[in-house]
Copies of this chain bind each other. A is one copy, B any other.
Amino acid sequence: MAKLFVTRTRARYGETDASGIVYYNSYFVYFELGRVEMFRELGLPYDWRLPIADTACRYHASARFDDLLEIRSFVEEIRSCGFRIGGRVYRVIEADPAAEPTLLVEGHTSMVTVDADRRPTPLPDAFRAALTPLL
């Protein structure tokens, strides 16, 4: 099973919408928080030539303001010119920290390594070496 990278954040007031729950595009911000922390732990540069090729999210339950969220990120796939990172966002049950958190959403994001002209270019060795053992 893929190694999980875990980080936490609280749902912010500005991330909610008039239906009272966290707005659907906020989860892509959470997924990115997860990827940033994964890259930090791996010592890989995040702010690099890594445009996003596609992303998706499936919603199971909703988060509310101030919910403590746990973001779990993992390598789903390594490709010749990029990779795909999976993400899941959970609500931590603060009254019972030992309880398994509730799965809210799951999704993924594919990133492509490109050259200075933004053409796909083979995944650099440093990325391949760091990501391969995580699958």
> Which residues of A pack against B, CB within 8 Å?
10, 12-14, 16-21, 23-26, 28-29, 32-33, 36, 46-47, 51-59, 62, 64-66
Q: Are A57 and B59 in contact (CB under 8 A)?
A: no
Q: Are A24 and B47 in contact (CB under 8 A)?
A: no
Shortest beta-carbon distance from A2 to chain B in Å:
21
Q: Are A65 and B47 in contact (CB under 8 A)?
A: yes
Q: Are A29 and B18 in contact (CB under 8 A)?
A: no
Q: Are B33 and A23 in contact (CB under 8 A)?
A: no
- Chain B contacts for A51, CB-based, 8 A: 19, 59, 62
Q: Are B17 and A16 in contact (CB under 8 A)?
A: yes
Q: Are B54 and A54 in contact (CB under 8 A)?
A: no
Taken together as a complex, chains A and B put the C-alpha atoms of A13 and B50 apart, in Å, by 13
